Amino acid sequence: EAEINEARELYRRVPARGSILYFVVADLGHIDNMYQFSLTYFSMLFNKCIDVSEKSEDLDERLAILLDFITNFVFRNICRGLFQEHKMIFSFLIATSIERASGVITNEEWDFFL
């Protein structure tokens, strides 16, 4: 069990990215009520990313592949259902949410921007 927990901790960045992306997607409903995406749909997208993304024996490379693939795959699939004028807002929300989670954008900077 300790071995499983240790392996799980190594991959923690991947589900954290999935969580960030899910909440950005869920918030799209505030832009237009038509944008309603279920957790089931998002989970299906996320799991598909894990299955079809490039594999690597090197853990750091695998994590980088997963983070990049999941972000791009979710962006492309959700954008197919967005109006053109909302795609830029969606990409901005993804970028700033990832940067806020990583500490690149501080809460003070975000509050100032808003």
- What is the predicted pLDDT for the residue at 105? 94
- What is the predicted pLDDT for the residue at 1? 76
- What is the predicted pLDDT for the residue at 93? 96
Q: With beta carbons less than 8 A apart as the criterion, state whether 74 and 21 touch.
A: yes
Low-confidence ranges of the chain (pLDDT < 50): none
Residue 111 to residue 114: CA distance in whole angstroms: 5
- What is the predicted pLDDT for the residue at 58? 93
- What is the predicted pLDDT for the residue at 6? 86
- What is the predicted pLDDT for the residue at 5? 87
- What is the predicted pLDDT for the residue at 2? 84
**Percent helix, strand, coil in the chain (nearest 5)?**
75, 0, 25
